[in-house]
A and B are shown apart, each in its own frame.
Chain A
Amino acid sequence: MSRVMIVDDDEDFATAAATVLKSLGHDVGVHLEARGALEVLEKAKPDLVILDVMFPEDSAAGFEIARGIRERRDTIGSVPVLLLTAVNAKFPLGFGAKDLSNDFLPADDFLEKPVDMTVLCQRASALLAK
Chain B
Amino acid sequence: MATTESPALCTYELPLTAADAPPGPRVRLRGLLPAPLLVKNELWFCRLRWIAIGILLVFAAAGHAPGLFARLGLRASPLWPFVSAGVLTIANVAFLIHARLLDRSPSPSRGVAVNLWGQIVIDLLVLTVVVHFIGSVETCVPFVYLFHIVLACIFFSLRQSAIVAILACVLYVGCVAGEVTGLIPPAGMYGDSLLRLQIEHAPTTLAANVATALAIWTGGWYLVSKLSGMVRERDHRLAEANQRMELAQAEKARHMLRTTHELKAPFAAIHANTQILLGNYCGELPPEAHHVLERIARRCARLSMEIQEMLQLSNLKSDTEKAQLRFATLDVSQVLRQCIGQLKPVAQERRISIEEALEHAEAYVVPDHAMMLFANLLSNAIHYSHEGGQVHVRCYARPSGEAAAQVADHGIGIPGDKLPHIFDEYYRTDEAARHNRESTGLGLAIVRHVAQTHGLHVRVDSRPGDGTTFTVTFPPCSCSEAIQTEAYHESSDDR
- Enumerate chain A interface residues (CB-CB to B < 8 A): 10, 12-13, 16-17, 19-20, 23, 54, 59, 86-94, 96-98, 113-117, 119
Q: List 20 A-B contacts (CB under 8 A).
A: A10-B268, A10-B269, A12-B269, A13-B272, A16-B269, A54-B261, A59-B254, A87-B261, A87-B264, A90-B368, A91-B253, A92-B368, A93-B257, A96-B338, A96-B342, A97-B341, A114-B268, A114-B301, A115-B271, A115-B272
Q: Is B304 an interface residue (CB 8 A)?
A: yes
- Give chain A residues whose Cβ lies under 8 Å from the Cβ of B254: 59, 93
Complex formed: what's the CA distance from A89 to B338 in Å? 10
- Which of chain A's residues has its CB closest to B338's CB? A98
Q: Which of A54, A90, A96 has the most CB of B within 10 A?
A: A90
Q: Is B77 an interface residue (CB 8 A)?
A: no
- Give chain A residues whose Cβ lies under 8 Å from the Cβ of B268: 10, 13, 86, 113-115
Q: Is the interface of A mostly helix, strand, loop or mixed?
A: loop
- Give chain A residues whose Cβ lies under 8 Å from the Cβ of B301: 114
Q: Is B256 an interface residue (CB 8 A)?
A: yes
In the complex, the answer to whether A93 meets B253 with C-beta atoms within 8 Å is yes
Number of interface residues of B (CB under 8 A): 35
Additional pairs, 6, CB under 8 Å, beyond known A20-B275, A90-B371 = A12-B270, A12-B273, A16-B269, A16-B273, A17-B272, A90-B368
- Which of chain A's residues has its CB closest to B372's CB? A90
Complex formed: what's the CA distance from A16 to B268 in Å? 10
In the complex, the answer to whether B372 meets A117 with C-beta atoms within 8 Å is no
Per-position 1/0 for B372-389, Cβ under 8 A of A: 100100000000000000
Complex formed: what's the CA distance from A66 to B5 in Å? 39
Q: Is the interface of B mostly helix, strand, loop or mixed?
A: helix
- Which of chain A's residues has its CB closest to B324's CB? A92
CB-contacts of B268-323 with A (<8 A): 268-273, 275-276, 279, 281, 300-301, 304, 308, 311-312, 315
B241 CB to nearest chain A CB (Å): 21
- Which of chain A's residues has its CB closest to B277's CB? A16
Complex formed: what's the CA distance from A17 to B371 in Å? 30
In the complex, the answer to whether A91 meets B256 with C-beta atoms within 8 Å is yes
In the complex, the answer to whether B253 meets A92 with C-beta atoms within 8 Å is yes
Kindly identify which residue among B256, B265, B315, B371 contacts A113, using a CB–CB cutoff of 8 Å.
B265
Q: Is B267 an interface residue (CB 8 A)?
A: yes
B203 CB to nearest chain A CB (Å): 74
Complex formed: what's the CA distance from A23 to B281 in Å? 8
- Give chain B residues whose Cβ lies under 8 Å from the Cβ of A12: 269-270, 272-273
- Which of chain A's residues has its CB closest to B309's CB? A90
Complex formed: what's the CA distance from A117 to B312 in Å? 26
In the complex, the answer to whether B375 meets A86 with C-beta atoms within 8 Å is no
Complex formed: what's the CA distance from A113 to B307 in Å? 13
- Give chain B residues whose Cβ lies under 8 Å from the Cβ of A16: 269, 272-273, 275-276
In the complex, the answer to whether A117 meets B275 with C-beta atoms within 8 Å is yes
Q: Is B86 an interface residue (CB 8 A)?
A: no
Complex formed: what's the CA distance from A13 to B300 in Å? 14
In the complex, the answer to whether B281 meets A90 with C-beta atoms within 8 Å is no
Ranked 7 nearest A-B pairs via Cβ: A16-B272, A12-B269, A113-B268, A114-B271, A92-B253, A86-B264, A114-B268
In the complex, the answer to whether B281 meets A19 with C-beta atoms within 8 Å is yes
In the complex, the answer to whether A20 meets B281 with C-beta atoms within 8 Å is yes
Complex formed: what's the CA distance from A90 to B342 in Å? 11
- Give chain B residues whose Cβ lies under 8 Å from the Cβ of A86: 260-261, 264-265, 268
Complex formed: what's the CA distance from A16 to B375 in Å? 30
- Which of chain B's residues has its CB closest to A120's CB? B272
In the complex, the answer to whether A87 meets B269 with C-beta atoms within 8 Å is no
Complex formed: what's the CA distance from A32 to B260 in Å? 20
Complex formed: what's the CA distance from A96 to B261 in Å? 15
A32 CB to nearest chain B CB (Å): 13
Kindly identify which residue among A20, A96, A115 contacts B279, using a CB–CB cutoff of 8 Å.
A20
- Give chain A residues whose Cβ lies under 8 Å from the Cβ of B315: 91-92
Q: Is B31 an interface residue (CB 8 A)?
A: no
- Give chain A residues whose Cβ lies under 8 Å from the Cβ of B375: 90
Q: Is B476 an interface residue (CB 8 A)?
A: no
- Give chain B residues whose Cβ lies under 8 Å from the Cβ of A115: 268, 271-272
In the complex, the answer to whether A89 meets B371 with C-beta atoms within 8 Å is yes
- Give chain B residues whose Cβ lies under 8 Å from the Cβ of A97: 341
- Give chain A residues whose Cβ lies under 8 Å from the Cβ of B253: 91-93
Q: Is B465 an interface residue (CB 8 A)?
A: no
Q: Which of A88, A92, A98 has the most CB of B within 10 A?
A: A92
In the complex, the answer to whether A114 meets B345 with C-beta atoms within 8 Å is no
B272 CB to nearest chain A CB (Å): 4
Complex formed: what's the CA distance from A13 to B261 in Å? 14
- Give chain A residues whose Cβ lies under 8 Å from the Cβ of B312: 90-91
A86 CB to nearest chain B CB (Å): 4
Complex formed: what's the CA distance from A19 to B85 in Å? 87
- Which of chain A's residues has its CB closest to B267's CB? A114
Complex formed: what's the CA distance from A93 to B256 in Å? 9
In the complex, the answer to whether A117 meets B338 with C-beta atoms within 8 Å is no
Complex formed: what's the CA distance from A119 to B276 in Å? 14
- Which of chain A's residues has its CB closest to B315's CB? A92
CB-contacts of B221-254 with A (<8 A): 253-254
- Give chain B residues whose Cβ lies under 8 Å from the Cβ of A59: 254, 257-258, 261
- Give chain A residues whose Cβ lies under 8 Å from the Cβ of B261: 54, 59, 86-87
- Give chain A residues whose Cβ lies under 8 Å from the Cβ of B273: 12, 16
